[in-house]
Structure 1
Amino acid sequence: MTNRSLTASVKSRFLADRMIPVRLDFRLMAVVFAGLTAWLLLAMIMKNLIHGAEGSAASATSAYYSYTVRNTTRFFEGVMLIGLLTLLPQIRNEELKVVARRIYSRNRDALTAAPFMVLAGVVSFGLMMSSYSTVKARIPSIVPFAWDDTLAAWDASLFFGTDPWKLFEWVYEIPPIIITLDFLYDVWAALLVGSWITCFVATGIERARRLRYCLSLMMTWFIGGNLLALFFSSAGPCFYEHVSTDPARYADLMTHLHSLPALRNTGMQDMLWDTFKQDGIGIGGISAFPSMHCATAFLFVLMFGRTPVWRTITTAYFVAILLGSFILGWHYMIDGLAGAAVAFVCWKLGGLAVARIYPPEAK
């Protein structure tokens, strides 16, 4: 027996005995982990070359894994709730046990592989965020905030001298709208993690498309969240009074926001600035340009907007995040537009890369 036939025999025996779930996508995992390892090495080299940077030895890896697990749980709780609601008509006519058995028999391979793929997704996402934050949290130490005045001026020039948030000043008088934007901005974290995990477990989506999304997200966060954020080091409107030459420019905006005690976003902004002042390396870091919220939301459109219904849902969500980014004081509007542009370019680059890995499937 040749080595090749022996390998094939052993592999078929393992698959037959379900020792290795047949739905494990080793190629996707190999490419993703290879890219993330390279990113982490670059981030560590960059960190070690920064002499005297605050928090040079600190790490938020454990915090990001906690963040990943928490938001994975939130995402799948929502998915399960929606799934149960869609199954209600069947459950009314049949016992839940019968429905569950039928679903399992139809999706046995995928369900067998799911725990392994979810674990791979959680580990890889935590690795990505650790790599990203290793650089982002140290941006002010590498390049002090210097672009806020310029970005604010560019923002105003888009609307003939008026800061974009002022065009929506009426919104602050309608708390339900602001609270909704605040919720959508907050739930973005669960959607970000969930979309990543989905690409590991959703066997109904082509492998090429799932890998394209993962690569595009990685490139978007590396190019936009690390490289461009370093070059255009900026803090954003909510921190404008601390870093600009005109501290009062966004004072009215922040007054509006702090007058609404139900918002989560103002508490998060205060926490980030307190962490920054203490030279801590916690989750997040401070960086305005480009907006990763908007970039990721635009990738949702490109990845999941494949039908008219989903295109409408994802586009509406992107618009809400874009508006919320400056209405809630996190970003200048130009940050969001730049984030979408970076995401679009990275989606195209991801398509070119995947065409070499999955030639028959790449689109």
Structure 2
Amino acid sequence: MGQNDPMALGTTRDASARAVATVEVPSRRHRHRVLSLAVGTAAVTGGLAVVGSVWLGIPLRDPDGFLGPGWVRMPAIVAICLLLDVLPRAAWRLRAHPELRSARGLVRSARDVAVARWPWRRLVPVLVAVASFYITYVGYRNLKNFLPFIHESSQDLALIASDRLLAFGNNPAEILHAVLGTGFSAHVLSFVYMGYLIFVPVSVAVALIFWRHLSHGLWYVTALCLNWALGAASYYLIPASGPFYALPWDFTDLARTDVTGLQAALVRNRSIVMADPDVGGTVSGIAAFASLHVSVVFTAALIVQLIGMPKLVRRAMWTFFALTVLATIYFGWHYIVDDLAGIAIGGIAVWAGAWATGNLRDPGRRDHDDDSDVAGSADALDTRARQAAA
């Protein structure tokens, strides 16, 4: 078949169109609104952390996770997701251009696909959202670290009483231990609870890079920023340590899991920080009201539901949410009212993010700029490919 053969051209355009796909970017008005909300949340949370650091004389920390420091972890995850978005598409596109099947051709194809899929008006909001998320999270962790130096007392006794009231005079953790057992269930719920540590950074990158509508990804990340900010405020509103810290004997029968190891590490870190706040790399991470595990997973599940993700994804997220709620009570991380407050925070964050991104009335309706220059870029890719092969 010749170069101008209609079937060949059709096959070429089909491969290029699949490589580029459709890129939908929020309108300029909503980009400015959502980024202002995300940046504003980061500025307030990070600013309060700086003020607290100066006032208390405690240095700011960038808390490390088991995936490494946040300033390395988040950019690395986003970069990997960008590569996963571009490279397979570039390789697929070469199917229509056998004359370019070489290492140099793959590099050229990857460059063309990256330019087509990631114009500045799409890439800049993603980078700003990631930076806002990181700053907000670091501010949140430092504000959490300052908590025991500002509030020496706690409301654990009142929250224990609320647990007994809501559980009709019973200890809710003991009920779960009796119903679910303390062996196999402990390992399952520990896996769910610890999985959250990977879920949060990965879900941020996936939402911003792989979701078809950028407004949905910005909605999710902005809502997470609000979760951290509102969560930090709730810690100061009702300071508490949680059942595992206030009533440790209620959880001694549980099998040893990664969660019990994490709890022991948190107690140890709190003691170290209280004895010497200047110790490097250590932060106090114990706070009960409200549950940010619950609020964040509820935020993710609710947004996935509202934007109409496939049924399997929606069911998986609601199952993850339900198991997370159980794990917080089962291991004594939180009281019942902590989880209820977490759901309230998640709901508020989802609503505010929907307003900012233009998804408030109908999440299925996308309000985006005219993307004809991006949607039509398959032709531009083919033109560049023919020029390169000439």
TM-score, scaled to structure 2 = 0.67
1:127: Cα distance to partner? 1.3
Distance 1:103 1:154, change over 3 A: farther
Aligned partner letter, 1:187: G
Per mean C-alpha deviation after superposition, the further-off stretch among 24-33 and 139-148 is: 24-33
Counterparts of 1:122-201 in structure 2, within 5 Å, are: 123-170=131-178, 171-175=180-184, 177-201=185-209
Task: Give per-residue Cα distances to partners, 1:165-213, cap 9 Å, x unaligned.
Answer: 11111333442x2212111111112211122223432351242x32222
Determine which of 236, 243, 260 is the counterpart of 1:230: 236
1:158: Cα distance to partner? 1.1
Aligned length: 315
Distance in 1, matches of 2:294 and 2:224, equals: 12
Aligned twin of 1:331: 334
Higher RCO (Cα < 8 Å, 6 or more apart):
2
Task: Give per-residue Cα distances to partners, 1:214-236, cap 9 Å, x unaligned.
Answer: 2222222212x211110110001
3-state SS of 2:64 partner: helix
Alignment pair present for 1:40 and 2:46: yes
Distance 1:229 1:362, change over 3 A: farther
Aligned partner letter, 2:246: Y
Determine which of 251, 263, 276 is the counterpart of 1:269: 263
- Give % identity: 20
3-state SS of 2:253 partner: helix
Aligned partner letter, 1:188: Y
Distance in 2, matches of 1:167 and 1:58, equals: 42
Distance in 1, matches of 2:60 and 2:52, equals: 14
Structure 2 residues without counterparts, runs of 5 or longer: 1-23, 93-97, 369-390
For the 8 Å contact 2:193–2:324, the answer to whether it is kept is: yes
Task: Give per-residue Cα distances to partners, 1:247-286, cap 9 Å, x unaligned.
Answer: xxx5132x123x42xx111111111111111224735621
For the 8 Å contact 1:228–1:289, the answer to whether it is kept is: yes
Alignment pair present for 1:217 and 2:224: yes
Alignment pair present for 1:312 and 2:315: yes
For the 8 Å contact 1:229–1:289, the answer to whether it is kept is: yes
For the 8 Å contact 1:216–1:350, the answer to whether it is kept is: yes
Distance 1:47 1:292, change over 3 A: same
RMSD, aligned CA: 4.2
Determine which of 338, 346, 350 is the counterpart of 1:347: 350
3-state SS of 1:278 partner: helix
3-state SS of 2:181 partner: helix
Distance 1:135 1:62, change over 3 A: closer
Aligned twin of 1:251: 249
For the 8 Å contact 2:142–2:283, the answer to whether it is kept is: no
Aligned twin of 1:57: 58
Distance in 1, matches of 2:329 and 2:207, equals: 30
Distance 1:79 1:212, change over 3 A: closer
Aligned twin of 1:7: none
Distance 1:323 1:103, change over 3 A: farther
Counterparts of 1:352-363 in structure 2, within 5 Å, are: 352-355=355-358, 361=366
